[in-house]
Amino acid sequence: MDHRLWGGRFAAPNAEEMRRYNDSFRFDRRLADVDITGSVAWAGALEQAGLISAEECEALTQGLELVRREFADGRFEPKPGDEDIHTAIERRLHELVGEPALRLHTGRSRNDQVATSLRLFAIGAARQVGERIQGLQLALVEQAERHADTLMPGYTHLQRAQPITFGHWCLAYVEMLERDRQRLEDATARARTLPLGAGALAGNSLGVERERLTEALDEFDAVAANSLDAVADRDFVAELLFAFALTGVHLSRLAEDLVLYSSAEFGFVELADEYSTGSSLMPQKKNPDSMELLRGKSGRLLGNLVTIMTVLKGLPLTYNKDMQEDKEPFFDSLDTLDLGLQVAAAAVATLVARPERMAAALDDSMLATDLADELVRRGVPFREAHGKVGRLVRRAMELHLPLRQLPIAEYQAVQPDLGHEVYALFDPARSVARKDSLGGTAPQRVREQVARWRDLLA
C-alpha cells in the first residue's frame, strides 16, 4: 500500500533517486513528539467542528499516544513509504486504529502541520538552550565569587591596560550570556503564533475554530492572522539561528581568552584534564581542545544561519519545497550549541586560577592612568595630565626603570607639587579598589554583582 499523503493524480511513482532526494524522515523524525501533540489537538478541533465523532476522536487520540510511546521507547519501525514524519505517523496510526486515521488530515495541510510542529520544537529548543546558558552563567558566577579579590591584567588590543580582578572578568561573560538568554526569550515570543488551521495557504472552510486550538496547544498565545504568512513564515527559525550563532560567537570569545590564559606564556588558569587533550607525538603537551572546539564550532553556527537566510531570500509566497531545508541547519545548530554549552560550563567550573601568575603579569605601566587621575585631583586638566604622565612613561623607558623607581626629581620636573606620596599610587590592589563606580572592578562591586546574579539566576 502507498502511504504517501499525495499522489492520486500521478500515473507513475517517483524515481528512486528523486524519492531519496525528497524524503526527509531521516532528520524530521525528531519532530515526532511535537507532531503528535499537534495532531491530538487537531483531532479535538475536528470533533468540536462536528467533522468526526467523539468515538473517532478518542480512537485517534489513543492511537496517537501509542505511536508517541513507540517513538519514545525506540520501538517505532519506519517503512520505505515513510517520506517524512507526518506520513510515518499517519501510516502507523492507520495500522493501529484503522479507518478513523483517514479522517485526521481533514482540513489540514502538511504546510500548516509542519509549521506548527517546527514552532513547537523550536520553542522547546530555545528553552533548553536557555537552561544551558544559565548553567554556564552559574559556573562563571561561582568563579567570580571565589576570585573577587584576585588581581590580573585587563587588556585592550591584547596589550596590558589596567589592573582588574579575575572575578570581574568572569562576570563580563555572565552579562554577555544574559543578552543571549534574552534574545532567545524574545525570539520565542514571536514563535508562539499558531499556524495550524491555515491549510495549505488559504485557510479552512470546514468550521474549525482556530482560536480554540491555542487552548489545546498552550505553547501558543496567538493565532496567525494571515493564512499565507502562516505557512510561509520561517522568521522564527532565522531568529533562533541568529541567537544560537551569536551565543556561539560569545563562547568563541570566552574560549579564546581561556586558550591564551592557559598557555605557558600567560599561565593564568589551568583547565582540568577532563577538558583537555594531549599530543600523539609530544608527551608533555596539554592542549585546551575543549576551548578550541568551542571557538571552531562557532563557524558552524554562523554557517547554518547563512544557510537559512539564503534559503528564504528568494522564495515567492507561500510554501516551497526549499523550506524543507529549514530543519537540518536548525537541528545541527541546536545539537552543536547544546553540547558546547555543557562542555563550557563544566570546563569553567573545574578550571583552576593561578593568582600568583596573574599578579606577576602586573606592571607599573598599568597604573599610569592612576597617576594621571592624581594630577586631575590636583586641578590639572586631564588632557594636560595625560601628556605629563606620557612624558614620565617615556623617561622611565629611557632610564630602564619601572615608574615606581623613577626618582622624585623626574616627577617634580613635570609636576612640581608631587612628593614622595606619589609612590603609593603604584599598588594594583589600591588601584582596583578605587574603581568602585557601579559596574566597576573593585572587589566590593564584584561581590555586589555576584549577589545580584545569584538572585537573578536562582
Are 236 and 184 in contact, with CB atoms under 8 Å apart?
no
Q: Map grid coordinates 539561528 to a residue.
A: 241
Residues in CB range of 259: below 8 A, 6 or more apart:
288, 291, 292, 295
**438 CB neighbour count, 10 Å cutoff:** 7
In angstroms, rounded to a whole number, what is the distance separating the alpha carbons of residues 227 and 224?
A: 7
The amino acid at 75: R
In angstroms, rounded to a whole number, what is the distance separating the alpha carbons of residues 220 and 212?
A: 11
Residues in CB range of 14: below 8 A, 6 or more apart:
22
The amino acid at 133: I
DSSP 72: H
Q: Map grid coordinates 596589550 to a residue.
A: 159
The reply to whether 250 belongs to the active site is: no
In angstroms, rounded to a whole number, what is the distance separating the alpha carbons of residues 409 and 400?
A: 16
The reply to whether 262 belongs to the active site is: no
Angle at 122 between CA 316 and CA 327, to 5 degrees: 55
Q: Which of 117, 279, 386, 437 is catalytic?
A: 279
Q: Which of 3, 157, 252, 431 is catalytic?
A: 157
Query: Which residues are annotated as catalytic?
Result: 157, 279
